[in-house]
């Protein structure tokens, strides 16, 4: 993964606008944080295949068994990735990592929880979706002679492909997915998920493995001095908690962010 330091807001805008449309993005409030899923962080030193697999199975079986008792707004998921997406939405640790096709939505998430008192460096991750998926499809074909899909043909089948050809064999393969049935919040955020088929290998570790050499992945380091400039840029574009979430929770997040900025 390439690491590039950006000096000012003009460099940031130029870097974003120079990338083609087939990139996905993730903003993080602290550049020292790795690309780790909530499950990886929850398990810590115990993040390894067998333990992670048991933890995920325990959570999913309990969540799905009680789903009908609590839910009044979602359709029951049909695929593993739909279940994991819904679980993540409600705060259950999963091996999904949130990304978005909008670099500006990614920047919003980077400053939403930002520490405006300490001003650490932030990070914007940019990954070539097309290159990554082409490589993942090549890896599946190398292990399964019956697999004959292409990046174009997997449309509306990505969940089923992940279930049948990746997760079932615990393969060291990354997959980008928009669950077949998006909730409104994911749709507003132009959201997608990066997920590892290997339950014991972290996303960043797999992304930097020889299997994914040649896939363009960039980590832009943004100095803390840019935080308020980024907020101003997003405000001019009408990107806030209100537009990202579209509910009272989003309004509350938007107000909380403004208070923290004005108090800095």
pLDDT in tens, 71-95: 776 678 888 998 998 899 889 999 9
In three-state form (DSSP H/G/I as H, E/B as E, the rest C), the secondary structure along 157-209 is: CHHHHHHHHHHHHCCCCEEEECCCCCCHHHHHCCEEEEEECCCCCCHHHHHCC
pLDDT above 90 coverage of the chain, percent: 70
User: Residue 70 above 90 pLDDT?
Assistant: no
Beta-strand ranges (E) seen in the chain are: 2-5, 23-28, 96-100, 122-128, 174-177, 191-196, 217-222
pLDDT above 70 coverage of the chain, percent: 95
Largest CA distance in the chain: 59
Paired with 152 in beta bridges are none
Q: Which of 96, 95, 121 has its CA nearest to residue 110?
A: 121
Q: Which of 165, 208, 198 has its CA nearest to residue 56?
A: 198
Please write the tens of the pLDDT for every residue from 98-151.
999 999 999 999 999 899 999 999 999 999 999 999 999 999 999 999 999 999
Residue of 248 and 205 predicted with greater confidence:
205
Q: What is the pLDDT of residue 184?
A: 52
Confidence at 69, pLDDT banded by 50, 70, 90: confident
User: Residue 182 above 70 pLDDT?
Assistant: no
Q: Which of 215, 216, 212 has its CA nearest to residue 139?
A: 212
Q: What is the pLDDT of residue 188?
A: 53
Confidence at 5, pLDDT banded by 50, 70, 90: very high
Cβ(104)–Cβ(125) below 8 Å: no
Region 22-39: what's the mean pLDDT? 96
User: Residue 11 above 70 pLDDT?
Assistant: yes
| CB burial string 216-254: b at 16+ within 10 A, e below | bbbbbebebebbbebbebbeeeebbbbbbbeeeebeebb
Query: Residue 95 has what DSSP assignment?
Result: S
Region 235-262: what's the mean pLDDT? 87
Q: Which of 133, 130, 121, 131 has its CA nearest to residue 220?
A: 121
Give residue limits of the domains in the chain: 2-263
Strands 2-5 and 122-128, sheet pairing: unpaired
Please write the tens of the pLDDT for every residue from 213-236.
999 999 999 999 999 999 999 999
**Alpha-carbon separation of residue 155 from 97, 180, 218 (angstroms):** 20, 10, 26
Q: What is the pLDDT of residue 185?
A: 52
User: Residue 183 above 70 pLDDT?
Assistant: no
Q: What is the pLDDT of residue 242?
A: 86
Region 36-61: what's the mean pLDDT? 93
Q: What is the pLDDT of residue 163?
A: 93
Cβ(259)–Cβ(231) below 8 Å: no
Please tell me the chain's helix, strand, coil percentages from 3-state DSSP, rounded to the nearest 5.
50, 15, 35
Strand order of the β-sheet with 2-5 is 2-5, 217-222, 122-128, 23-28, 96-100, 191-196, 174-177
């Amino acid at each position: 993964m390439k690491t590039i330091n950006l000096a000012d807001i003009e460099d940031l805008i130029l870097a974003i606008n120079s990338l083609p449309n087939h990139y996905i993005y993730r903003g993080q409030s602290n550049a020292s944080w790795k690309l780790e899923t909530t499950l990886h962080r929850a398990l810590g030193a115990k993040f390894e295949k067998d333990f992670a697999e048991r933890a995920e199975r325990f959570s999913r079986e309990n969540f799905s068994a009680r789903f009908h008792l609590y839910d009044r707004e979602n359709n029951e998921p049909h695929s593993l990735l739909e279940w994991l997406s819904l679980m993540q939405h409600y705060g259950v640790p999963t091996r999904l990592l949130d990304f978005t096709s909008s670099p500006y939505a990614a920047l919003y998430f980077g400053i939403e929880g930002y520490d405006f008192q300490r001003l650490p460096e932030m990070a914007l991750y940019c990954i070539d979706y097309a290159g990554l998926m082409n490589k993942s499809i090549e890896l599946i074909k190398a292990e399964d002679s019956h697999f004959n899909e292409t990046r174009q043909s997997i449309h509306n089948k990505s969940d089923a492909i992940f279930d049948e050809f990746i997760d079932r064999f615990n393969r060291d393969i990354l997959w980008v997915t928009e669950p077949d049935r998006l909730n409104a919040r994911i749709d507003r955020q132009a959201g997608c998920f990066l997920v590892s088929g290997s339950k014991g290998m972290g996303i960043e570790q797999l992304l930097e493995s020889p299997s994914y050499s040649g896939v363009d992945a960039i980590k832009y380091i943004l100095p803390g001095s840019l935080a308020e400039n980024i907020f101003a840029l997003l405000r001019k574009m009408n990107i806030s908690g209100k537009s990202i979430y579209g509910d009272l929770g989003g309004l509350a997040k938007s107000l909380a962010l403004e208070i923290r900025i004005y108090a800095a």
